[in-house]
Structure 1
Amino acid sequence: MSELLESREYRKKALKEIILALHQGKSVEEVKGRFRELLENVAPTEVSLIEQELINEGLPVEEVQRLCDVHAAVFREGLEKAVTPDMVPGHPVYTFKEENRALTKLMEEEIKPLLEELEKAPQTQEKELALKIAEKLNLLSDIDKHYRRKENLLFPYLEKYNITGPPKVMWGVDDEIRGLIKKAKALALEYVPGQKEELLGKIRETLAKVSDMIFKEEKILFPMALETLTEDEWYHIMEESDTIGYCLIEPQQEWRPSRVNIQEKKLVTSEDERYIKFPTGFLTPQEIELIFNHLPVDITFVDKDNVVRFFSATKERIFARTKAIIGRRVENCHPPASVHIVEKLIDDFRSGRKDKESFWIRFGDKYVLIQYFAVRDEEGNFIGTLEVTMDIKPLQAITGEKRIMDN
């Protein structure tokens, strides 16, 4: 047993040295020979573990991301020998792979032929072909759903097992691909004569990146995830996938794990009684209170019987509230001149004639937006009225874009 562990540790160390050698400037060809000598077969998880360790040891994620394409080129020969587990329709990995097949077909059978046609076309036909390519790139941009399911459903489960490095690296490459598709589509839509080579180059770079990501997913990410996640976790990923959507295809059936009873993975253990369970997570009463009090809006809730039940205690409330208001009927909290407006609004909510109403007023140096929302349960029954108030003057002053954090 110790010999096996030592062998595994030796392979990991050697592979780390190969990656670091690449980082220090050696070419892919220079390290390929050593790679072949060290490994006949490499488990997909080992590549990810190596990246994880490099990040843990201080190598910036951006550096590992920069090396990601080189890693794939070096390890491709070994990884292509790996056997991908057979999957059944409806399983999240099966769906991911079906999307990859659809993406590959789109690139190989629809986009690349158009690129070849554009390359040989006379200038008079370039604009028309560029617009056809833009339509296909618009289909390719559907890849965002594939990546969002991977990033927002699969990655969180991997992170629970302390697998954080590879997801960060892959997410960075996903964003590169999104940016490339956006730039390529803009070039195609706004095509002018003389941009043929630029357009062709950008699209070919994009397609190469997408193809490389398909390889990395199917030979590294998915096998690693299948080795790590439980059936319960895969089932929960499948359940939530519909909320994001699918890329180019729709699953034809639902996957059921071999076990009949699906148990939810516990997010809290030793002090469960302190937590209030929601469909989307767990919070303590203190956390709930602090969240309400840190929202950039003031909130007041009036129940179905017109009784004030709650207000948030933000630091700078626009309209003052005291605890004495709790338990009062809402009509008693307004001056007589405006009571009829309040009563009419709540009556409209209760009857279903309205679901929301908004007002905006000048209040000192503030420009205040006051919104009212009918709160209903899943059956549509009226539960109460939510008042949300905020100063929108600072929002009106926003222009342009801000993409970096203040010092």
Structure 2
Amino acid sequence: MKKDIQYVTIDGRGEHESFKECVTKALKELKPNEGLHVIKDFEPFPLYKMMENKGFEKSVEKVSEEEYHVYFSPVPVDEVNNIKMSENLNLDQTKLKNILDIKVSYLKGHLSLDEAKAKLNQSVDKVTAQEFAICEQYIQQYGITDEELTNRMDEILEIFADVLVTNSLDLPLGHPIRTYLEEVKAIRKVLKDIESMKYKKFIKNQWVELYDQLSAINIHFARKQNQLFPALEDKGFDKPSKIMWTLDNNIKDIVKKAMYCLASDEEQKFLNLQDEVIEMVEDMMVKEEEILYPTAMDLISDEEFVKIRKGDDEIGYCLIDTPPLYGSEKEETTVSHNKDLMKDLQSLLKKHGVLESTSTENILDVSQGKLTLEQINLIFKHLKVDLSYVDEEEIVKFYSDTKHRVFPRSPGVIGRKVQNCHPKESVHTVEEIIKAFKSGEHDEAEFWLEMGGKFIYIIYTAVRDEKGNFKGVLEMMQDVTRIRSLEGNQRLLSWGNK
């Protein structure tokens, strides 16, 4: 049943090529609490998923076999049960609705920046990082795309400048958020050195040293994307991986551009980039401090942070030493307790003849041979190729834990939607591959790229069972730089790569 709200009508009967564009345009122009009334000469099934993803629910009225009326209504802000994030926060729905209305009115062009800022200042005394974050989750239902939100985030933060408050975080050493904050301090020190170097005599080697330090910011990004973002997504807060990932990539691109200018001795061009580099990196860190970290502290439990800390070491740290363990005493107690429990259980099973021996691991029948679980894991660990497996539900289920990984991985990626493991610029390629594999149109997709002096080969393979049913995607990645350089024959034993 349609709701008692204003609807913008789009009569798409007979229209096919331009219909989707009309809907997209109408969505951008919708005011808060407005919906879309679509008329078609067939039931517009392809539109349903798109509108659902944008936060709209539907009501369908069939007038005849050749006339359908579909009413798309925005899901009310107070219906927060479908977002896990809301379960972890104490939310004032009226306040959230007010904040959203002002933000949407500005983004739709109904209010100027100054008008929106003044209206917000009159409406609320303060807005917490958590309230700001939850509003970002709902804004898409008003036709605001992630791309637009990313591009206009600085404007939005300016509207909230007088009322946005951030709690000071006093955390123990080893806590993952404390580690991010320590890295932010270290990055700011590099930015300060860059700022002072701009006015000194240009000495290339000094700049090279500074940019070697700044390039370590990629580790900060990798840990955030592989460790922190998955934990937040599990709570329903997916905007960081959709928005901040793009901001991070923009920083990586401009740092890479500056390093290229430096290496090419384009001195003035390099110097001209420095203000933009400083501004972009500082802007990213402010967003982390004011929004990302406080929200993470409210949403993620201490037990989850203990698990996150375990995976952080696999990726490494940016400009700081490896932090101490976090929650280690509690962890060691739990491990000791579990070992005692397993020992007692094994003794009991052996007593009743269920286990013949507790000294050897069970042998598993694999497709060709018999292996223990330990042997299987050792084989994966020693392969000279990186493997990742995504199941038929598009969930990351496995990656090989090798020492030479081309791209970083951590346990936080397991159980994550594969789309959330990529920046939005490449998600369409991932989805295209999966779609082609599911339909049976293709079975392989290969890529290769040159990166940091290495030549990387990547191949995606459709995984199918004996009946041909799609069971997922296997990604295989390898640094083949040395292999490409080999010539002639090597028939005699030779140790190492010398």
For 2:172 and 2:445, locate their aligned partners in 1 and report how far apart those are by CA, in whole Å.
Answer: 50
Answering whether residue 187 of structure 2 is matched by residue 113 of structure 1, we say no
Q: Which runs of 5+ in 1 are unaligned?
A: 265-306, 312-324, 328-354, 358-393
Distance in 1 (CA, whole Å) between partners of 2:447 and 2:105 is 51
> Structure 2 vs 1, CA of residues 399 and 99 (structure 1 numbering), >3 Å: closer, same or farther?
closer
Query: Quick check: 1:52 aligned with 2:140?
Result: no
Query: Is the counterpart of residue 15 in structure 1 residue 15 in structure 2?
Result: no
| 1:179 equivalent in alignment to 2:263 | no
Structure scoring higher RCO (CA < 8 A, sep ≥ 6) equals: 1
Mapping for residues 232-381 of structure 1, pairs under 5 Å? 232-256=303-327, 310-311=366-367
Q: State whether residues 28 and 70 of structure 1, in contact with CA within 8 Å, keep that contact through their aligned partners in structure 2.
A: yes
Output the CA distance in 2 between the equivalents of 1:241 and 1:170.
19
How many angstroms apart in 1 are the aligned matches of 2:240 and 2:447? Answer: 40
1:103 equivalent in alignment to 2:187: yes
| CA–CA separation in structure 1 for the residues paired with 2:446 and 2:155 | 47
Answer yes or no: is 1:190 the counterpart of 2:264: yes
The 1-side partners of 2:291 and 2:310 are apart by 24
Match of 1:41 in 2: 126
8 Å contact kept, 1:232–1:262: no
Superposed displacement of residue 242, structure 1: 0.5
- Is this contact kept in 2: 1:90–1:253, CA < 8 A? yes
Alignment identity in percent?
A: 26
Could you say which residue in structure 2 is the equivalent of 1:64?
149
| Structure-2 change in CA distance of 1:29 and 1:251 (3 Å) | farther
Instruction: Quote the residue 1:165 is aligned against.
Output: 239
Distance in 2 separating the partners of 1:188 and 1:144: 19
Aligned-partner Cα distance in 1 for 2:303–2:90: 33
Instruction: Kindly state the Cα deviation for residue 142 of structure 1 after the two structures are TM-superposed.
Output: 0.5
Letter in structure 2 aligned against 1:187? C
Distance 2:447 2:97 in 1: 55
Query: Which letter does structure 2 place at the counterpart of 1:53?
Result: Y
Is the Cα–Cα contact under 8 Å of residues 45 and 224 in structure 1 kept in the other structure? Answer: yes
Per-residue CA shift, 1:372-407, capped at 9, x if unaligned? Answer: xxxxxxxxxxxxxxxxxxxxxx9999788999xxxx
* Match status 1:144 vs 2:218: yes
In structure 2, what is the Cα distance between the partners aligned to 1:396 and 1:221? Answer: 35
Q: For structure 2, which runs of at least 5 residues remain unmatched after alignment?
A: 1-77, 79-88, 336-362, 371-381, 385-443, 451-455, 459-498
Structure 1 counterpart of 2:289 = 218
| Whole-Å separation in 2 of the counterparts to 1:6 and 1:242 | 33
Secondary structure (helix, strand or coil) at the match of 2:166 reads: coil
Contact 2:176–2:309, Cα closer than 8 Å, also in 1: yes
Query: In 2 relative to 1, CA 217–263 (structure 1 residues): closer, same or farther, beyond 3 Å?
Result: farther
Q: Is the 8 A contact 2:99 2:135 kept in 1?
A: yes
SS where residue 243 of structure 1 aligns?
Answer: helix
Q: CA separation in 2, counterparts of 1:201 and 1:152?
A: 33
The separation in 1 between residues aligned to 2:137 and 2:280, in whole angstroms, is 22
- Root-mean-square deviation over aligned CA pairs: 3.7
Of 84, 96, 103, 2:168 maps to 84
Mapped partners of 2:208, 2:190: distance in 1: 13
Distance of 1:183 and 1:8 partners within structure 2 = 45
Partner of 2:376: none
User: In the TM superposition, what is the alpha-carbon distance from 1:252 to its structure 2 partner?
Assistant: 4.1
CA distance in 2 between counterparts of 1:257 and 1:397 reads 42
The one of 114, 132, 149 aligned to 2:206: 132
Equivalent residues, number:
269
With over 3 angstroms needed to count, the CA separation of the structure-2 counterparts of 1:113 and 1:13, relative to structure 1, is same
The letter of the residue matching 1:177 is I
Residues 316 and 322 in structure 2, CA contact (< 8 A), matched pair in contact too? no
* Range with greater deviation from structure 2 (81-90 or 92-101): 81-90
Q: Give the conservation status (yes or no) of the 8 Å contact 1:55–1:165.
A: no
Conserved 8 A contact 2:255-2:277: yes
Report how far residue 164 of structure 1 moved.
1.0
1:250 shift after superposition: 1.4
Q: How far 1:61 sits from its partner (Å)?
A: 1.4
Alpha-carbon distance between aligned partners in 1 of 2:332 and 2:446, rounded to the nearest angstrom: 52
Give the drift of 1:111.
0.7
How many Å apart are 1:46 and its aligned residue? Answer: 1.1
* 1:204 alignment partner in structure 2: 275
**Larger % of helix: which?**
1
After TM superposition, give the deviation of residue 13 of structure 1 in Å: 2.2
